[in-house]
Amino acid sequence: MATENQPDAKPDFDQLAEDLLAKNVPIKRSVDQDWLKYAQTFNARLQYEPALIVVPNKVLHVQEAVVLAAKYGTKVQVKSGGHSYASFSTGGIDGIMVIDMQEMREICVNHVTGVFRVSPGVRLGELDSTLYNLGRPVGYGSRAIAHGTHRTGLAMDHIIALDVVLADGRHLAQVSRTRNPELFWVSTSLERRALRGAADSIGVVTQFYLQSKEAPDTILNFRFAFTGIINNVNDAVKTFKHVQAFAQDPEIVDRDLGLSVFINGDALIISGIYMGPHDTFFNVILPALYNDQCLPEADIVNIKTQTWAEYSGIPEDDATPIITQKDREQQSNFFAKSVTVSKPIPDAALVKYFRFLQGQAKKASVGWYVIVNLHGGPDSQINTRSSSFAAFGSYDALWVFQHFASVGVTEKFPEEGFELLEGMNSALTQELDEYAAELVYVDPTLSRDEAHELYYGAELYQRLQGCKRWYDPLNLFDHPHSIRG
């Protein structure tokens, strides 16, 4: 009997490969010497084996692949950067067709409008460097799903149009507020929302069009490290409460501040960037944040001025970084979970959380860390959006917690690692009335229904289901957490 993620009958991949080659569509099979270059996953813990990999270098190749996949009854997933935490870009299961977009790597800039067009095979380093060297530095994180800055919002908020190949092979150019309205179902905004955040369930994006934002010439990068603070639960709770109160003070915090808390072992690090006037940082923000009445003395205090290029890791010689095969073969062996909260975390939850970190977490044999990113607070441009704008369920988040555990690439990931992160999530959420999870830090241990509830919420998911039924009724684009019609 077929499982939920497997077709009823095994597709004839040999014949499918022949048909693709007959149409001059580049493909890779497991017998090819460079197979691993395309099949290897970023997360070594979750290695899946595609039946066939298409490596298009033009839109027509994508269209031919999608049409033939539907004809032969195979599921399809798209691989761009390939950094899915759950290896969903390699299918999340064995035996499907993967469309690897790494050969489609074009970047074009309109210097009049500031709109740039980028193909899905472009890596972030390439994009940042190219735009910077063309005089259009992007003032937000360039991940097209759910990263960005307090100042500008998420990167995907600035996607103004997309080119997409649908499940029937049609290629829609510049799907936007105004283009292709006759092909939209219900409203032009529903499909645009679906593609911004749930595109892997709807079609194959072949071009992104984004509006650039002016980046600051310089930023202030700050870091305060407190060693041993996790050993004392009261001190850890007091520290986080101070940071949380600071982050919500409208007299101090505005969109120009980015803030994170990093926890590893017995250390807690408060770090961030400030893009506003330097005088404001030193006279207002710094005294309020690094307050000796609320914080212990830091072991490390580091404040430095950086150019945007330095902050973004752009080479000083203006050279666009060359993405080598070694870069693409880098792996990590890990498991991650996340929690997003839209309200201040109460004392009871913080006490349970830091007790867990001080106790069970410190005894763990696996490596682990916690990153807590400030998404909300006064003047946050992330919070100005909602799920009516894009298929993203955490626009209202105040804090985003990422829990991460790892071992050596060649080691077997132990059960202890799963239990550790489950414990972290549980300790944090037991005292919370409501919480969600971050789609970027996808957790493959969640069921499909659990993932949809945590990542999208019931109302948004219902709307996405309608879009899926209209554009992909046969569920061609599928992985273990994808939208089902």
Residues in the chain: 485
Question: Nearest CA to 273 among 265, 281, 284?
Answer: 281
Question: Domain 13-100 belongs to what architecture?
Answer: 2-Layer Sandwich (3.30)
Range list of β-strands (E), 275-411? 300-307, 333-341, 367-374, 399-407
| CB neighbours of residue 5 within 10 Å | 17
- Tell me, what's the pLDDT at 32? 97
3-state secondary structure of 68: helix
Sorted by sequence, the CB contacts under 8 Å of residue 107 that are 6+ apart come out as 116, 117, 118, 119, 122, 126, 127, 130, 131
Longest CA–CA separation in the chain, Å: 73
Contact 442, 456 (CB under 8 A): no
Contact 351, 237 (CB under 8 A): yes
Question: Which CATH code, of 3.10.20.600, 1.10.1040.10, 3.30.465.10, 3.40.50.150, is assigned to 107-214?
Answer: 3.30.465.10
Contact 463, 190 (CB under 8 A): yes
- Amino acid 64 reads E
- Tell me, what's the pLDDT at 143? 39
13-100 matches 107-214 in fold: no
Hey, what are 426's tokens?
């549980």
- Tell me, what's the pLDDT at 185? 30
DSSP line for 400-462: EEEEEEEE-TTSPPPHHHHHHHHHHHHHHHTT-S--B--GGG--TTS-HHHHHHHHT-HHHHH
What does the angle CA 122 – CA 33 – CA 335 come to, to the nearest 5 degrees? 55
- Tell me, what's the pLDDT at 429? 98
- Tell me, what's the pLDDT at 181? 37
Instruction: Annotate 372-385 with b (16+ C-beta within 10 A) or e (fewer).
Output: bbbbbbbebbbbeb
- Tell me, what's the pLDDT at 161? 86
| Tens place of pLDDT per residue across the chain (485 aa) | 233 344 456 899 999 999 999 999 999 999 999 999 999 999 999 999 999 999 999 999 999 999 999 999 999 999 998 999 999 999 999 999 999 999 999 999 898 888 999 999 998 878 888 888 777 666 554 333 445 677 888 888 888 888 999 999 999 888 776 664 333 333 344 455 566 677 888 899 999 998 888 888 889 999 999 999 999 999 999 999 999 999 999 999 999 999 999 999 999 999 999 999 999 999 999 999 998 888 999 999 999 999 988 888 877 665 555 454 455 678 999 999 999 999 999 999 999 999 999 999 999 999 999 999 999 999 999 888 877 777 777 889 999 999 999 999 999 999 999 999 999 999 999 999 999 999 889 999 999 999 999 999 998 898 889 889 989 999 999 999 999 98
pTM of the model: 0.91
DSSP line for 268-298: EEEEEEE-S-HHHIIIIIHHHHS-TTTSPPP
Hey, what are 368's tokens?
């682990």
Domain range list for the chain: 13-100, 107-214
**DSSP type of residue 231:** G
